Amino acid sequence: MSTFAIASESVLISQAVAREARSGVLGTPKTLAPWLFYDEAGSHLFEQITELPEYYLTRTERSIFAAHAEEILREAARGQGPAGKLTLIELGAGTATKTGILLAAAVRQQGSVVYQPVDVSETALAEASENILTNIPGVTVRCQVTDYTREALPLDRLRNTRTLALYIGSSIGNFTPVEARDVLRNLRAQLLPGDTLLIGTDLAPGEHKNEAMLLAAYDDAAGTTAAFNLNVLTRLNRDLGADFDRKNFRHKVRWNGAVSRIEMHLESLTEQTVRIPASYGVPTLTVDFAHGETIHTENSYKFTPAAVRTLLLSACFKATKTWQDPKDLFAVTLATAI
């Protein structure tokens, strides 16, 4: 990519940050969209979160893949002709650390596989590609820099192949139910009947998961999730010249059982005024905070298996098989495009 293209891409991102900040902090209640977390520092903090003892999601999903990868791939390929192969596409692939288990199983099953990771981050995709090409012979990687939440998915349909789309990590849980349905409909629009989707979802509280465990996963003892949440203020200071003082806010997590979601907020510890100077066509903002007022920064929905099936059906996918860990903390569901 040329230097000019990179510069214009970063201007577009800064414009989007300015618009999101404006609409978010002027609203009641105040909000900031979770995609703002993922600047370079935030992406690094998220990688650290996935290794925290309290954050069970990543390692539990990985353990499900490790136990069932062969069966998942076999089920996804069911009905394929003997010469037919699966092509794997992954939404929000990031550095694709867990995907390797599935790709290795695909290579064992069909000899080789084409893998199309899709992500907004070019650097994450470059890392994913290097890791996979070094460690799993037989994989052809075709990276695609796209925001799958807003743009059509650029799917390379190869002759005589069927697509298995991966949407793992419970990323779907960071959308409202309507947004989640629309993300899946956007994906479904690019698939053909008989293609499949493998979706990872964090499960609602049950016998082995109580509210305390959920709260700890989002408010860890080392303070990494707090730093991840507060980093959004640092980003607005850097990208927009805002004057948020991080010391005047604290990370706050609550479980909203009525809608089955963890909420992350930034709570103002004092009455204060923050200034965001004019930028990218957005006028100067002066934002007043009451003591105790919060900015709602993220939702993380927790699903029942029935809720996953209903969500899938709303986007024309039929769930065919679900794998869970022995403690029912996390679910991985295979669904067919209908």
The whole-angstrom separation of Cα 309 and Cα 287 is 42
What is the dihedral sign for C-alpha 207, 254, 264, 301? positive
In whole angstroms, give the CA distance from residue 40 to residue 35. Answer: 12
Contacting ligand AVI (CB under 6 A), which of 116, 121, 225, 279?
Answer: 225
Figure out which of the listed residues 61, 75, 298, 325 binds ligand AVI, where binding follows CB under 6 A: 298
Alpha-carbon distance of 323 to 132, in angstroms, equals 25
Minimum distance, C-beta of residue 264 to ligand AVI, in the bound complex (Å) = 6
* Per-residue tokens: 169: 């990590």
**C-alpha 125: how far from its chain's center?**
14
Q: How far is the CB of 328 from ligand AVI (least distance, A)?
A: 17
Nearer to ligand AVI, 92 or 100 (CB): 92
Residue 94 contacts ligand AVI per CB under 6 A = no
Nearer to ligand AVI, 49 or 153 (CB): 49
SS3 335: strand
Contact region with ligand AVI (CB under 6 A), list: 15-23, 164-172, 181-189, 267-275 = 164-172
Stretch that binds ligand AVI, among 63-71, 160-168, 169-177, 181-189 (CB under 6 A): 169-177
Does residue 224 contact residue 52 with C-beta atoms inside 8 Å?
A: yes
| Part of the chain binding ligand AVI (CB under 6 A), chosen from 24-32, 79-87, 102-110, 167-175 | 167-175
- The distance of closest approach from Cβ of residue 84 to ligand AVI in the complex, given in angstroms and rounded to an integer, is 32
Compare residues 87 and 170 and give the one whose CB is closer to ligand AVI: 170
Residue among 20, 168, 9, 33 at smallest CA distance from 94: 168
Contacts of 238 by beta carbon, 8 Å cutoff, 6+ apart: none
Phi and psi at residue 160, in whole multiples of 5°? Answer: 60, 30
Q: How many Cβ atoms sit within 10 Å of the Cβ of residue 235?
A: 22
* Total residues found in the chain within this entry: 338
Structure token digits, residue 252: 């706050």
Residues from 12 through 71 that contact ligand AVI (CB under 6 A): 49, 57
Residue 196 or 225: which CB sits closer to ligand AVI? 225
Stretch that binds ligand AVI, among 133-141, 168-176, 313-321, 330-338 (CB under 6 A): 168-176
**Tally of CA atoms within 13 A in the half-sphere of 125 that contains its CB:** 19
Q: Binding mask 190-209 vs ligand AVI (x if CB under 6 A, - otherwise)? A: --------------------
Nearer to ligand AVI by Cβ, of 37 and 244: the residue is: 37
Binds ligand AVI by CB under 6 A, chosen from 24, 42, 117, 169:
169
Q: Tell me if 174 contacts ligand AVI by CB under 6 A.
A: yes
Pair 228, 37: CB distance under 8 Å = yes
Q: Can you give the binding site for ligand AVI, defined by CB under 6 A?
A: 49, 57, 169-171, 173-174, 218, 225, 298, 300
